[in-house]
């Protein structure tokens, strides 16, 4: 039986149209974009064309897009690149929110530990909202960069990035603002100029494109230090031979995502609402996390009292439902969610996070089935835990 996949925030399958666009660059047209001969020029044209497509979707200049190997790398380039380029002139103070993806949080902690950055973590409220006021209050004359994500990957909460950028720039016009828009792209309009940010990260595999392709949008005039040096590709901002097929796939996926965005988000918003309502009806003490925030379509997220995420996910997997606790954590270690902790949840609840994220293939029947599988699994785990503690007490 094909599992019901409700983990589209972790990754999405390659869209057939995207694969078709990529195939020539994995088979017949395999030049290096830096070569001057015909094969090289064909590869260069394909990279330029993909850059144009993504620039068209973002409404920006194509020279502002730096292709990277992932969203993680885009985040690293933004943070490390700005601190290295501007830290000595503008100050080493870095502000990030407590609910950032580890690509930002871990990087910020590394830079702090290395003495490169002075770090302030801006908190959020119980609904995962990071307010412009709280971020601006953390900004000082030495703040070189602020980074607050657009859509939270664990709860789907949409941050007021435009308000944050405005408040930060009002407080210190020299502070640069970065947003990680990896989960936002394809779900809500992403217009970096309208947002008023200086840098913005994207990843192809979250929008039905290939893994291993990402981009950092860098506002024209914003300089940053390359974190990979060598042949000077990407206007000296990211040296490496371009992943031509991946970049072509990214361009095709971005256009497709924008084309279907309005209809798909409407459909998926109703599916995720349906799933939330069904789970809350069948597991009455389940808490919908970030329920008070504006949430991106497709996120149904919960904290489940008395249930450990890793145990629940294994049970769901056995019963044909693929979900997640929050982020797709590389180590696999069952740590309480740092996002739920930042939202003020105690450790036992933060250890019971469940994230279901719908996708283009998800149906109403899928979410109805998933809700009853979740309810049955939660009930089973609780019965098992109760029996275990009764046996221990005997």
Instruction: Supply angle C-alpha 103, 106, 112, rounded to 5.
Output: 130
Token representation of residue 105: 């949080």
Nearer to ligand PLP, 204 or 275 (CB): 204
Question: Catalytic: 124?
Answer: no
Question: Is 243 a residue that touches ligand PLP (CB under 6 A)?
Answer: no
Q: How many residues belong to the site for ligand PLP (CB under 6 A)?
A: 16
Least separation in angstroms between residue 339's CB and ligand PLP is 11
Cα–Cα distance measured from residue 215 to residue 261, given in angstroms and rounded to the nearest whole number = 20
CA–CA distance, 285 with 180 (Å, rounded to integer): 33
The reply on whether position 182 binds ligand PLP by CB under 6 A is yes
> Measured between alpha carbons, how far is 213 from 23 in angstroms, rounded to an integer?
15
Binders in 79-98 for ligand PLP, by CB under 6 A: none
Give yes or no for residue 72 binding ligand PLP (CB under 6 A).
Answer: yes
Positions 307 through 366 that interact with ligand PLP (CB under 6 A) = 327-328
DSSP string, 171-209: H-TT-EEEEE-TTTBTTB---HHHHT-SEEEEEGGGGTS
Nearest residue to ligand PLP by CB is: 71
Asked if 162 and 191 count as a contact pair (C-beta separation under 8 A), the reply is no
Instruction: Give the integer Cα–Cα distance in Å for 250 and 67.
Output: 10
Sequential DSSP letters for 81-97: HHHHHHHHHH-SEEEEE
Instruction: Tell me the three state secondary structure of residue 310.
Output: helix
The region of 179-187, 190-198, 253-261, 367-375 touching ligand PLP under the rule CB under 6 A is 179-187
Decide whether 139 or 207 has the Cβ nearer to ligand PLP: 207
146-165 residues in contact with ligand PLP (CB under 6 A) are 149, 153
CA-based torsion, 215, 34, 80, 162: positive or negative: negative
- In whole angstroms, the minimum distance from the beta carbon of 191 to ligand PLP comes to 18
| Residue 102: Cβ within 10 Å count | 16
* Residue with smaller CB distance to ligand PLP, 172 or 203: 203
Taking the complex as a whole, how short is the minimal distance between the CB of residue 391 and ligand PLP, in angstroms? 40
Q: Does 18 bind ligand PLP (CB under 6 A)?
A: no
Residue 192 is a binding residue for ligand PLP (CB under 6 A): no
Question: Shortest gap between Cβ of 214 and ligand PLP (angstroms)?
Answer: 5
Structure tokens belonging to residue 354? 């469940």
Residue 226 in contact with ligand PLP, rule: CB under 6 A: no
Indicate which residues carry an active-site annotation.
329
**Positions that interact with ligand PLP (CB under 6 A):** 70-72, 75, 101, 103, 149, 153, 180, 182-183, 203, 205, 214, 327-328
């Amino acid at each position: 039986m094909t599992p019901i996949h409700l983990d589209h925030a972790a990754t999405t399958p390659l869209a057939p149209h995207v694969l078709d666009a990529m195939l020539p660059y994995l088979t017949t047209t395999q030049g290096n974009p830096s070569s001057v001969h015909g094969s090289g020029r064909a590869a260069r044209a394909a990279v330029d064309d993909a850059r144009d497509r993504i620039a068209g979707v973002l409404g920006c200049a194509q020279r502002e897009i730096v292709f990277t190997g992932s969203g993680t790398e885009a985040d690293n380039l933004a943070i490390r690149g700005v601190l290295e380029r501007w830290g000595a002139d503008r100050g080493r103070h870095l502000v990030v929110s407590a609910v950032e993806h580890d690509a930002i949080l871990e990087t910020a902690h590394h830079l702090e530990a290395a003495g490169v950055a002075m770090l302030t973590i801006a908190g959020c409220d119980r609904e995962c909202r990071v307010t412009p006021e709280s971020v601006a209050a953390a900004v000082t004359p030495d703040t070189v960069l602020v980074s607050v994500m657009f859509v939270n990957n664990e709860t789907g909460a949409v941050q007021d990035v435009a308000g944050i950028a405005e408040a930060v720039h009002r407080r210190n016009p020299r502070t640069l603002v970065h947003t990680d828009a990896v989960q936002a792209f394809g779900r809500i309009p992403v217009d970096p100029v309208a947002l008023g940010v200086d840098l913005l990260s994207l990843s192809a595999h979250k929008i039905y494109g290939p893994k291993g392709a990402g981009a950092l949008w860098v506002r024209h005039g914003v300089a940053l230090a390359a974190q990979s040096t060598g042949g000077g590709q990407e206007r000296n901002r990211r040296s490496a031979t371009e992943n031509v097929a991946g970049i072509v796939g990214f361009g095709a996926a971005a256009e497709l995502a924008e084309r279907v965005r309005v209809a798909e988000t409407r459909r998926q918003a109703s599916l995720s609402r349906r799933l939330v309502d069904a789970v809350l009806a069948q597991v009455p003490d389940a808490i919908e996390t970030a329920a008070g925030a504006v949430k991106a379509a497709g996120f149904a997220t919960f904290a489940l009292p008395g249930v450990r995420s890793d145990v629940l996910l294994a049970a769901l997997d056995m019963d044909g439902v693929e979900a997640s606790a929050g982020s797709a954590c590389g180590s696999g270690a069952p740590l309480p969610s740092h996002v739920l902790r930042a939202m003020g949840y105690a450790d036992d609840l933060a250890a019971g996070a469940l994230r279901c994220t719908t996708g283009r293939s998800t149906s109403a029947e899928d979410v109805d089935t998933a809700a009853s599988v979740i309810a049955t699994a939660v009930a089973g785990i609780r019965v098992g835990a109760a029996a275990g503690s009764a046996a221990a007490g005997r």
